[in-house]
Amino acid sequence: MFNIFRDLKDLDKVPIPGLGVCCPDESNPFLLHCNVLINDGPYRGIMIHLVLHIPEDYPLTGPAGNIAPGLEFNSRYHAHIHEDHRNGHALCNDLLTNYAQHFRLVDGGSIKQATGWSPGYTLSTALLQIVTFFADPDLTFTPSSSSIDRLWNMVKNFTCETCGHSYTKPNPVIVDYTETMLDKQQAEEGTMSKEEEERLKSERERLQLERELVEKLTCGVTKQNVIEDDIYLGYPILFKRDNYNRLSPEIILELISYDAYVAEIQKSGGEKLDFYENFKFRSVTGADYNYWLPLYINSKHFQQGRMIIQNSISVIYNGSAQGVEKYDFASHMALDVLTNLMNKSAVRLFNGELFESKRAIEAYCHLLRLLMHFIDIYPELEYKINKTIEDFITGLPYRNKKVVPDMGEFLIKISLSNKYTFDDVKTYLYEECFARQIYWIQRNTAIQNLLDIKVEDLPAIFQSKKVSYHLWVFNQEMAQTFIFPGAKENIFLFVIALSAIQPVVYDLFLARLKTDNKELEVQQMFIVQTLFELVRYNKVLKSLTLIVGNVRSEVDKWKRLSRLIINVLLVHLQSNVLFFITF
């Protein structure tokens, strides 16, 4: 019920042109009456009176819409109106629950909510969709003039028995399309002094900032926010099986509250979920998820929800919520889980799923802030980060996928280290990255012998390395941009760390990415060509042949080969034009 009142209040504050909503019976907020002034199509200018039925679990389930009883706007006028002489003819739109009712015979009643509805939607969303719905009747024929005249007369003569709406006295009143709040505001400003205009401008900016903060820290389902309400916010998580049948978490880039997540569990018929992959809930944007990870908002918020946060990380790490001792939270889980999810956020942004989307960067920074707090309260995590880097520098036994499974996650740890910098590690990092690339070049292309490369092989080699090259740059840009001394205090716009990231950071970072992506392919092809021009020198070929002939394992072969190639490249090109320097 709270959500209904909030949506109605928002509609009252910011009315939608061509729409009006009212609650005829204040004791029953689940029944609303609406007026829609059709703004396009053959019925332009005609006002349709509707009844919206709001379910008790709204917004988890969307509303149903009907033409007001007695108004015979039926399938003669619109292809997606289905007759219901008792409740009023039903609107068949995938945002409304009438959609599920219409296809009940097809699915046996299994669809309980409209397929297009998401819990993050509001009454405004549904009403805007309804405006579009009436503008296009989707008929197989063009409505005749006489048919449109009949509809006009029917609308003019209609009176709603419940709310008293009529053509001459519409209830609710609608805002005309030609009348906007901006027009009124501009008219008022014409009579103001410059001082008053400046004061008004400053007040608008303050209100705009406040709205943005509230929006960024609002649950898409319940519409509650951490500023005004006592809630825990977090990201939905989807557990799914990877190619090796391992449970892998994927972050859904939107915010929901703990209450909204628990409500979904209760709807599924249980109190908790032990086997997550067997359940799927629907997120605000319609994505599947089956778990939830809380965020760090401020120290007080963290302390109040610390048990929930640590339990969530433990479940993500272990893939199970079974209450056994071996699944208890340990500090290293926070490091592993959060760097993994940060890296996946960067990869999703890179892959274009939400490219240049502020939500992807927000997720990265939210996870980073939470990880930084865990490092503060668990000093052993700093030691673990430094030890991993120290071992990596020490020798080959610590440079493999078992010790460092993902280079993107390792780059994050380097940036988090209080002992080592990227310059301390880059030589060894380049060797390992190149070793892994050479392995995949031979595995994924038709080139069987890297010592016998032809010019015509270069495009295939380039394509096999292209994605990884981009990812290296991308991950390093993410780490260097958002992980720096003082990040905990400066990464947020709001001084009390309410997790609204500075817009200027977004803009600078995205600008750098655009520049990198434009120039990167040219850089890469130059590097590949230069590398194999060097390999053609007899002395280099002789050295490579000697190395390949003496190695005892495939892993050592790639590592030693990459070491020689990198050294030659660094000397020959003075290490200034290499792709690696873009790190």
Q: What is the pLDDT of residues 185-214, one digit of tens each?
A: 554 555 667 777 777 777 766 665 666 666
The pLDDT assigned to 566 comes to 39
Instruction: Give mean pLDDT, residues 68-82.
Output: 91
Report the chain's terminal Cα–Cα distance, integer Å.
52
CA distance 90 to 114: 13
The pLDDT assigned to 582 comes to 29
- Tell me if 254 sits within 8 A of 283, measured CB to CB: yes
More confident residue, 375 or 514: 375
Confidence of residue 573 (pLDDT cuts 50, 70, 90): very low
Sign of CA dihedral 433, 439, 444, 446: positive
Helix (H) or strand (E) holding 440: helix 422-444
Residue 250 has pLDDT above 60, yes or no: yes
The pLDDT assigned to 376 comes to 94
More confident residue, 533 or 91: 91
CA distance 283 to 118: 7
- Tell me if 547 sits within 8 A of 561, measured CB to CB: yes
Confidence of residue 77 (pLDDT cuts 50, 70, 90): very high
Percent of all residues in the chain with a pLDDT value above 70, rounded to a whole number: 64
Q: Which CATH architecture has domain 2-183?
A: Roll (3.10)
Q: Which amino acid is it at 18?
A: G
Sign of CA dihedral 151, 156, 159, 164: positive
- Tell me if 92 sits within 8 A of 70, measured CB to CB: no
Exposed, middle or buried: residue 101 (CB in 10 Å: 0-12, 13-18, 19+)? middle
Lowest mean pLDDT among 62-71, 291-300, 308-317, 491-500: 491-500
CA distance 97 to 115: 8
Sign of CA dihedral 375, 378, 381, 383: positive
CA distance 120 to 211: 17
Lowest mean pLDDT among 101-105, 188-192, 404-408: 101-105
Residue 172 has pLDDT above 70, yes or no: yes
Q: What is the mean pLDDT of the chain?
A: 74
Residue indicated by tokens 């004061």: 199
Q: Strand, helix or coil at 481? A: helix
- Ranges of each domain in the chain: 2-183, 193-299, 330-582
Exposed, middle or buried: residue 413 (CB in 10 Å: 0-12, 13-18, 19+)? buried
The single-letter DSSP state of residue 457 is G
More confident residue, 517 or 397: 397
Closest CA to 91 of 119, 59, 116: 116
Confidence of residue 272 (pLDDT cuts 50, 70, 90): low
The pLDDT assigned to 361 comes to 76
What is the torsion angle, in degrees rounded to the nearest 10, for the CA atoms of residue 474, residue 480, residue 483 and residue 484? -170
Residue 543 has pLDDT above 70, yes or no: no
Confidence of residue 504 (pLDDT cuts 50, 70, 90): very low
What does the block give as tokens for 21?
């909503």
Q: Considering the entire predicted model, what is its pTM?
A: 0.59
Strands (E) across 159-277 are located at 233-241, 247-251, 256-257
Phi, psi dihedral angles at 259 (to 5 degrees) = -60, -40
The pLDDT assigned to 486 comes to 67
Q: Residue 358: CB partners within 8 Å, gap ≥ 6?
A: 501, 506
- Tell me if 97 sits within 8 A of 87, measured CB to CB: no
Instruction: Give mean pLDDT, residues 207-229.
Output: 74
Closest CA to 58 of 215, 222, 220, 217: 222
Contacts 24+ apart (CB under 8 A), 356-363: 356/510, 356/513, 357/253, 358/501, 358/506, 359/253, 359/254, 360/253, 361/482, 361/501, 361/506, 361/509, 362/216, 362/253, 362/499, 362/501, 363/235, 363/251, 363/253
**Backbone Cα Rg of the chain:** 30
The pLDDT assigned to 583 comes to 25
- Tell me if 499 sits within 8 A of 565, measured CB to CB: no
C-alpha 370: how far from its chain's center? 18
106-161 pLDDT tens trace:
444 444 444 567 666 788 878 888 888 898 898 888 999 999 999 999 999 999 99
The pLDDT assigned to 544 comes to 39
